[in-house]
Structure 1
Amino acid sequence: MSAAADRRFGPAPLPAPRGPVSAALLAALRQAPHDLPAGLGAGFASVVDPIGDEDLQLTLFLCYELHYRGWQEVDEAWEWQPALLAVRARAERPFEVALRQVAGAPPAPLPGAVPAALVELVAADDGPALAGALQRRAGLDQFREFVVHRSVYHLREADPHSWALPRLGGPAKAALVEIQMDEYGNGRLDRMHAELFRTTMASLGLDTGYGAHLDRVPAVTLATNNLMSLFGLHRRLRGALLGHLAAFEMTSSLPNRRYGNGLRRLGLDETATRFYDEHVEADAVHEQIAAYDLCGGLVRAEPALAGDVLFGAAAALAVDRRFAAHLLDAWAAGRSSLRASAVTEPVAA
């Protein structure tokens, strides 16, 4: 495999630390698996804002990525090292508490009412109009920033939700397979959504390497990814994971139309917009499958998970509102939405 292919499909390079815990963890990961300092990460219990804490969110991302593609030059045995899992748990606890606080207390409807409750939850969301701003007035540099933020997820698109597959059976599993097959291009590399996004990045002159922009994105961007991993890696949160996917799909079609139109306004061609154009049609179908067949099927089989489904959806919407507000507030103030210490001119791969 060539060096270029390694950067696209292989492990990401380790990022820079953002605080004492991530610094200690990064130093450890560069060595063979071993015990970590006792109580490493215990201070996360007193963090005021776990969603926006750079050290906590990077620590979680470092731990979670070991379950995806791993890290360059990091021993794969770290994935299940008990001391590392203990650090991860110390970061997860306050993060989950914060997610439940921002999600509020969604009602626990009867199983048959879950699809309608998801529709109501999405319809009531009044988050910042990021998609409208990108469609109508964002400059090319701002659109590139948006794509940099989203690259953390889109270059591994669908992977976090695939953790649910072995944890489901029956109609819910069939519905998730139907959605995921589209996300993975029905087995064709050139149609995988992650590859379509990589093409958009290249059209914008951005580095398309996997994990190339981790140092540039802030904690809130990492949090939008970490909550999927949190839900996906804990079987007890499988209902929240499916609720997250439902909210994701149900709020995708119209924004993606606007993203595509924004790129066309900026003079980009159909190659650059294909990722967004593909989602306009695909997600209009996916949202129905996700609400009625996926989440509806899950709670018919496991009625006790109805509240978890709505929690996952509400958490997804709440964290994405905060992400959107971060970008819009930065742009309104005339500054970059990327981390100031790491803002550099993007380099095409």
Structure 2
Amino acid sequence: MRIPDTRGPLTSALFTVLAQAPDAAGTELDRLYRLAARQVAGTGDIIGDEDIQLALFCLYELHYSGLDSVSDNWEWEPALIRVRQLVEEPFEAALRAAAHQAAGDFELPDRGAITSDEVADVLFGLAAMDTGPSLSRYVARKASLEQLREFLVHKAVYQLKEADPHTWAIPRLSGRPKAALVEIQADEYGGGRPERMHSALFARTMRGLGLDDRYGAYVDAVPAVSLASVNLMSLCGLNRRLRGAITGHLAIYEMTSSQPNRFYGNGFRRHGFGAEVTHYFDEHVEADAVHEQIAGRDLAGGLVEAEPHLLADVLFGASAVMALDSRLSAHLISSWEAGASSLRTAVPAAA
């Protein structure tokens, strides 16, 4: 991925550091750490902080496809990991607060042992509590062609690497939950056929609307909350202690995906697009109806049966998804209803 434009002093300092070799950036690394400490202490909304969320997104990107012209040796540079952890701690605290608010009065079972079926029931109950604005219904009934393109731009930050953050959990699991996650991920990656990978299907949808399908092409265009949604996945996937959260994240994703994707597909059909564009959404209507049972019972449920103390983190991961999705949906809908763009920068019109 190319290095994005800076959004403030933190990303400016980070990109200055990354332009050098790790063994030549000592002074700049110290400055970066001090700057990060000041910035996270001074922000009033870390989830919506453009500079912080972009910096964290790029730090995580070193563990995925990397950044153009940046040495791979930065990936595990201890001083840079220190900076990432400095930002992660308040970010996680803000996510936990948002997740707690999203869950409302939802209560955990008041006993230690809980079966996998009971875990699934808890997660389905949590999903049913989601009362946030319905972006999928707006897309189905009202979204203009330009708003559909914006919708895809927001989603592209994750969908063009769909499944990758959850795959980090595979070596952190064993037995039943590991097998369940591998089964889900095999479908996400197209069952061995690259043209059927969900990321490839989404890229085809983007091309159908005249958008650039290269990963990271629109990072500059999306706001902090879109980046925060992806950073949540990376935070939970890359930290073993949060293996419960990443399974809860995937479970609630699957449990709340089938019907919205039906609406999304209908929104594109309303504008005259055919299967070449809607295949991505139509695929998820069917696949996620199956995945929700596997993710809820065998993945998240199997994990909690094996490690009961992880139930709270499973629910944190699930509730955090709901909180950020609700915030992003509210941003898109309020922007569109006001006749404004939901993006930071304009996306060129389709050729």
Same fold (TM over 0.5): yes
The answer for the alignment partner of 1:141 in structure 2 is 146
Residue 189, structure 1, aligned to residue 194, structure 2: yes
Question: Unmatched 5+ residue regions in structure 1?
Answer: 1-11
State the number of aligned residues.
335
Residue 32, structure 1, aligned to residue 21, structure 2: yes
Once residues 72 and 308 of structure 1 are traced to their aligned partners in structure 2, the CA distance between those partners, rounded to angstroms, is 35
Q: Pick one of 302, 314, 328 that aligns with 2:319.
A: 314
Instruction: Give the superposition deviation at 1:346.
Output: 4.8
Once residues 127 and 247 of structure 1 are traced to their aligned partners in structure 2, the CA distance between those partners, rounded to angstroms, is 15
Once residues 32 and 118 of structure 1 are traced to their aligned partners in structure 2, the CA distance between those partners, rounded to angstroms, is 46
The answer for the alignment partner of 1:169 in structure 2 is 174
Q: Pick one of 60, 81, 84 that aligns with 1:64.
A: 60
TM-score, with length taken from structure 2: 0.93
Residue 77, structure 1, aligned to residue 80, structure 2: no
CA shift digits 1:180-205 (9 cap, x unpaired)? 00000011011000000000000000
- Conserved? CA contact 1:252–1:279, under 8 Å: yes
Q: Pick one of 282, 288, 295 that aligns with 2:287.
A: 282
Q: Secondary structure at the match of 1:216?
A: coil
* Percent identity of equivalent pairs: 58
CA shift digits 1:218-240 (9 cap, x unpaired)? 00000010000000010000000
The answer for the alignment partner of 1:158 in structure 2 is 163
The answer for the alignment partner of 2:123 in structure 1 is 118
Structure 1 vs Structure 2 CA RMSD: 1.2
User: After superposition, where does 1:1-349 map in structure 2 within 5 Å?
Assistant: 12-33=1-22, 34-35=25-26, 36=29, 37=31, 38-43=33-38, 44-104=40-100, 107-109=107-109, 110-112=113-115, 113-339=118-344, 342-346=345-349
Task: Call closer, same or farther: CA 1:347–1:86 in 2, change over 3 Å.
Answer: farther
Instruction: Give the superposition deviation at 1:108.
Output: 3.4
Once residues 90 and 198 of structure 2 are traced to their aligned partners in structure 1, the CA distance between those partners, rounded to angstroms, is 32
Task: Call closer, same or farther: CA 1:188–1:161 in 2, change over 3 Å.
Answer: same
CA shift digits 1:2-45 (9 cap, x unpaired)? xxxxxxxxxx1000111111110011111212220252300213
CA shift digits 1:160-187 (9 cap, x unpaired)? 0000000000000000011000000011
Instruction: Give the superposition deviation at 1:94.
Output: 1.1
Given residue 39 of structure 1, which amino acid in structure 2 is its aligned partner?
Answer: R
Once residues 79 and 299 of structure 2 are traced to their aligned partners in structure 1, the CA distance between those partners, rounded to angstroms, is 36
TM-score, with length taken from structure 1: 0.94
Instruction: Give the superposition deviation at 1:135.
Output: 0.3
Deviates more, 1:308-317 or 1:77-86: 77-86
Once residues 350 and 191 of structure 2 are traced to their aligned partners in structure 1, the CA distance between those partners, rounded to angstroms, is 31
CA shift digits 1:47-69 (9 cap, x unpaired)? 21111000110110010000000
- Extract structure 1 runs of 4+ deviating beyond 6 A: none
- Conserved? CA contact 1:207–1:346, under 8 Å: no
Once residues 209 and 146 of structure 2 are traced to their aligned partners in structure 1, the CA distance between those partners, rounded to angstroms, is 9
Deviates more, 1:31-40 or 1:52-61: 31-40
Q: Secondary structure at the match of 1:223?
A: helix
Deviates more, 1:164-173 or 1:28-37: 28-37
